[in-house]
Amino acid sequence: MDETNGPMAAGSAKRARIDGIPEGFIPAESAATSKNPSGSRRKARAAVMRMLYARELRGEAGGFTPEDDFTLHDLLEVPRDDAHLPYIRRMVRAVEKSAVELDERIAPLLRGWTIERLTRVDRLILRFAAYEMLREPPEEADDPGAVVIAAAIDMARVYSTDESMPFINGVLGALNRGKSSI
């Protein structure tokens, strides 16, 4: 089923495509701030999300390509000396490599939905958040699951529809309550 079906497929301007990348996926400001820790983890997560989306549109997985470097540095404006560059690259590779296992963990929590019915954006947000929650939780947080869920809801607010935010919150909340590492 294509991503225009279902409750999370409202005709949003955020879904309008320009050269294969939806509006809003190219930031108005830098995707990550070089040497500025304030808010940079949030921006690094946004860069991961946009890279996952661009790579899935191109049908790529695995190692970074010259096209990925162009996307990351020129389109997403992540500086080549950004402190979060290793995190961005590591997370993109890890989420792609773990997609099958992540989908197996997420699928039972969808209640009447399948992974295939989700919009591409919502599926990628859930995979990314599930990976971070289960394998690389933020160490600095008192409640890492809550931090990851809040970040995922923030991504849904920016890149998806209003209906996606409570849906993603519910799925990740259930995953957080029953989590064990994958």
Query: 51-64: per-residue pLDDT in tens?
Result: 899 888 888 776 67
pTM as predicted:
0.75
Reply yes or no on whether the pLDDT at 162 is more than 50: yes
pLDDT of residue 39: 63
User: What is the mean predicted confidence (pLDDT) over 43-54?
Assistant: 90
Residue of higher predicted confidence among 39 and 139 = 139
User: What is the mean predicted confidence (pLDDT) over 105-124?
Assistant: 94
Q: Tell me the sheet residues that pair with 22.
A: 17
DSSP for the chain, written as a single string: --TTSSTT----GGG-EETTEETTSS-SS-SS-TT--TTHHHHHHHHHHHHHHHHHHHT--SS--HHHHHIIIIIS---TT-TTHHHHHHHHHHHHHTHHHHHHHHGGGSSS--GGGS-HHHHHHHHHHHHHHHHS--TT-SSHHHHHHHHHHHHHHHHS-TTHHHHHHHHHHHHHHT----
Residue type, 34: S
**Gyration radius of the chain over CA positions:** 15
User: What is the mean predicted confidence (pLDDT) over 100-126?
Assistant: 94
* Lowest mean pLDDT, pick from 33-42, 76-85, 138-147: 33-42
Domains of the chain and any CATH numbers: 19-96 (no CATH), 98-182 (1.10.940.10)
Reply yes or no on whether the pLDDT at 161 is more than 60: yes
